Structure 1
Amino acid sequence: MEEEKGALVQSLIDVVNQIASIGDYSCAVKKEYCNLSRRLKMLISMFEEIRESKEQIPEETVKALVSLKEALVLAKELLIFGSEGSKIYLVLEREQIMHKFHDVTARLEQALSRISYENLDVLDEVKEQVQLVLVQFRRAKGRVDAPDVELYDDLLSLYNKSNDAAADQDVLRRLAEKLQLAGIAELTQESLALHEMVSTSGGDPGAIFEKMSNLLKKIKDFVQTENPNLDAPAREKNLPPCSSSGQTNTDRNHKTPVIPDVFRCPISLELMKDPVIVSTGQTYERFCIEKWLEQGHGTCPKTQQTLSNATLTTNHALRSLIDHWCDANGIEPPKRPSSSRPCKTTSAFSPVERAMIEILLRKLTSSNPEDQRMDAGEIRLLAKRNADNRAAIAEAGAIPMLVTLLLTPDSRTQEHAVTALLNLSICEVNKGSIISSGAVPGIVQVLKMGSMEARENAAATLFSLSVVDENKVAIGASGAIPPLVTLLSEGTRRGKKDAATALFNLCIYQGNKGKTVRAGVIPTLMRLLTEPGGGMVDEALAILAILASHPEGKFAIGAAKAMPLLVDFIGNGSPRNRGNAAAVLVHLCAGDQHLAEAEALGVMDHLVDLTQNGTDRGKRKAAQLLQRLSRFVEQQKQAQDQSQQLLSQAQQMRPPSVADAVVDS
């Protein structure tokens, strides 16, 4: 008990010390949070006295201290929130923040009120100090200082304006000063904090983030326009003050070119120096996203999607575009951080090849549909030619761009994009990048709505990606199976084969088998088995063999009256088809229901032949079936003999009939 008491009190001291170490608070909550922190620091003396005391603490007081610890932890989180969180968020959501503040202070006051101070072995002045804290909490209950109305109104007016609406320069100046967002470091920290706070809020992170992020962007643009050299390296600040036109760099009329949004990191809102792609397909400045991940986040800051992995892939295409834009605007391209690791495969390609690929990718971002269509087609052909091209195209950052084009309304561009992804997926290392770029929903959409060629290539892409076991689960959950079954029914011969191979591969995962049966695949497979000149018998039997192991599959195959066809394939099919048909029968005949029908159709002679002339798998399946059928036939014979014997006994024991009595007389 003494050890438990010591641990509890020490934990209380630790929490208060952590609270004491929290830095300055945002102007939106400064006074309330400073008062709360100051009051809690006054409790340290009581905790230290209790720790040193040899007297036993009453049980009721122990319970009160446990409640106090829980309230202190909540207070610490609240205070950290007010110190490191987004200043913009704290102003606009002040009412919600104050509601949490009142809830925490009420819990602290309630826990302190339950402590039996008269039974504690602490100095009287310490008791008086704690009583003072308790009185201050009671007086402060429900009371807060008036917010900075001008600051709130300024932020709200900017928050509610459309993205392209001109903002009042005086408003922006006041906001930058009051929120202390006059430097790049402060702006970057604010952006990081905004991402974190919005992602952990209980509201609508997407809508909130977009509007607050745009608001912060306007403030940052204003700050950088007012101070053009704010984020320039020292070596740039020492450049001669005159430009080639004779104007000074500090000329008030000189307009700094507006950085395109696509070139800005969504976190820092700065021009990206080393853009990298995360598993959701979004691009960030390497330093910012690394910091985000180091803080323990497992989500994409912009989309809030869970990151499937922490891999960061250099976006070479975007880097090239940024360099091109800087050159066109007379700005020195951003210097790459020395810690940035070059891709291992870069040296394998000539500058000409890399330049050609980057030019193609640059045009993919064009707003001209014709350019997109042509360049997607070029990338499709390049990716088809050889493994080196596939590696170079993926390394250049093409995959996320192609994924975006999957949803384009132009059917030909859509077809090029999905086929390019198919060709890229041949390279094993690209499969993970395609999945992590969020390609599967787009591929499924093409499979549902695209042209026949696009649908066929979408099916082939899903097959290629599903070679990786974990991808089978994701693809099956994406809704891909029903459109694959549809393609299996209505596609060209090539489309049917692509759909069949994809379905077979997906059904290796047990969880996809039921989905495939429920999508109506069994009637389609039965039709393919009897389709004259269809050429799909091999694929149909292979899928039936894998589905028969699932209860729903077994039931559906039995209900489709498949037995005569299966027996015929065991007797007359190719070695592979004989083995698959036997595998289906092994599952169907697990009970007595179908054994009699199979035996009546003459399957036993076929099975004897298969055990001698089939493939290894066919021989095993045939042997299993023969054993099962032999046991069934023997049981049936025994039952028949027993029945005959009972009938004979019954006849011997029956009483004489009237006719017999007449004869006797």
Structure 2
Amino acid sequence: MGSDVFEVTEALPSLNDIKVHRLMCAELIKLINSVSKILPETEEARPGCSTGIGALCSLNKAIGKAKLLLQHCSESSKLYLALTGDTILTRCQKSTNLLEQSLSQLQNMVPVMLAAEISKIISDLRVVAFSLDPSEEEAGKVLWELLHQYRSPTDSTEETAFKAIQGATVRLHINSQKDLLIETRSIRKLLDKIGQNELPKRKILLFLQHLLKKYGKLIVKEQKETKLMQHEESIPLSSSSGQSVEVESRLLDRPDEAQSNTRSTPGIPEEFKCPLSLRLMYDPVVIASGLTFERMWIQRWFDEGHDVCPKTQKKLSQLSLTSNTVRKDLISKWCAKAGVTIPDPSMPAVYQPLETSSTSIASLSSSVNDLALPIDFSNSSIRATYAGQGSVTSHARIANGVRFQCIGSAHEIDLEILYEMDSLPWEYRCKVVKDIQSFWKHEDRSCSSISCENLIPPLLKFLKDADDAHDVEALRSGCLLLSAFVKKCRSSTIPCLEEDTYALLASFLDTEVAEETIGVLEVLSCHQPCDYEIAASGALHHILRILDKQISGLQEPALKILCNLSAKSRIRSFIVPADFIPKLVPYFDDSALAGYSVAILKNLCDSEDARAFLAETDGCIASLTKLLESDSQEDQEYTVGVLLSLCSQRIQYCDLVMEEGVIPGLVAISVNGNNKGKAMSVELLRLLHDGVSESEDCHDVIRDTSPHSKERKSSSKAIKTQLLTDSWI
């Protein structure tokens, strides 16, 4: 249980790690940092409507996609990055568009001061301009021209290939044997990651690998002899590290350079800026304090119930808004002179779809097979794709079971079968799935020979078809295969499925294949961004039903999923304490499941709502305190943590806890528990001691003051105080 409950925080790559497109990545890093700074406060604002939750999900997904893009630019091949420069440019633009759309939705659901911060970031996102580095763009063009020459190769093509790869490596600063080795390894890693069915990408990568293998040493040798070739004299040859330092000093250390024209234009008079948004005012109005604000922002301030000036914090005599026509006229004249246009802040942005580059890898997919590239497939797993083609039919091969082949010491699956699955008769498709599942039981290493792109699309199509056909056995086989695959995958290769896939899996939780499905969701719930998609898919509703009906065999994985999801602060808004806390109480008496249940409570008790529902739920505290005597020190620690979060907030909670006779258990944990348990139990004992004293003093004032009543209260107080005093001795 311990390793399942943790939250992964992915750090942004350093600019020094970015291999190509540093200018664009530097801008993207700045924007992600700006969004990440306001993200915790935005989540704390808890936009509770479905639109707000969806916008938060979209924002986190947009951040995740931007981080993946930065990671790609830090780990990929320099040659491949240059070749796909237009695609990277488009992805940067799409990332900023996604961030802008999500923030624009959230802007109207959060307090006005936070909304003003979001407005600044949205402005930055709208005006950021991505562009390719000229040298890197030229390297990409040279490689594209070389690829297209192989449509009809001639005797001079090989000579052209040498000149092209030589020019590209010079422009991309592949200058030494070490640089050449790093580039070769990067290409090899890309080949391992992409699917066997992504033939255009694979062929191009193999072609680049072939060029480096054939000409790499010669290129490095010539660059050592001549630092700069005669026909490339105009190309700057600063080292990669030097370029990184230059870019970093220009982009990351400059203050707020990538701002909108209304903010970056020098010499904007302060009186022309709204004190709330710090931006040029579009519709300035005066309030009772005599200060001028942007109409939209000050109106939102008043709509939130404020009756003071946001600048002076003095109470206003009235909340009327008066247009400041003089100020507006001055601003208009200044804008005309400075060439600045002020957008209406109340108007939503219009998003235009981005055009796909004509030089992207996808655009070459239809014709790449026509290129006569000099590729050596002998050392590539792509040979599995072509193995046996034309020798026997797919049906005949499947009739004898899915064919597996031994290549060297590793076993590989005949990937061609996966590509053809959709065109096969249903019974053969079922047999393919069962055979692969059976093979994996006996060959642990086989998972490395197949990627997400190979298996996931045909398998998900198989599951949808099986669901439509109400074929329970096929559904079970498909879910077992998917479960086996995600379990064998390394955490870095866990598949990121489409949104409708999570909804499909969630629907299976109410069918005969619930046990197989919940195993898949349990594995995925440990990883980002799968955890978010699970919570947003409606799976929590089905998990709640499983806990309520106490369905045997499903309870433990259901609790594990809840444990994993509740540990992530950005997902807790999906978990409604009033629904889930009462369902957890029966599991406190089950030694095998109590640990997961109390861990979920500990995660949820960060909010006052959860603490209140915990205190109000019948039998919850009583059942919880029994775990103080558990044999598991981890369960003891979580239990003390829950009780401590309660008692540290309200005296009434101290009384409820004291009524359950927790003192002996806490004293035992303070002596024999783990380090965290010891520290928290001592703190809880102190809080209970102080709470009892304060509570009794309050009761003495408001209760009956008869002599007998005083005697009883005095006796009760003495007993509680003595117990707590003894625990400290």
Q: What is the TM-score of this pair, normalised by structure 1?
A: 0.44
Rg bigger for which structure? 1
TM-score (norm 2): 0.40
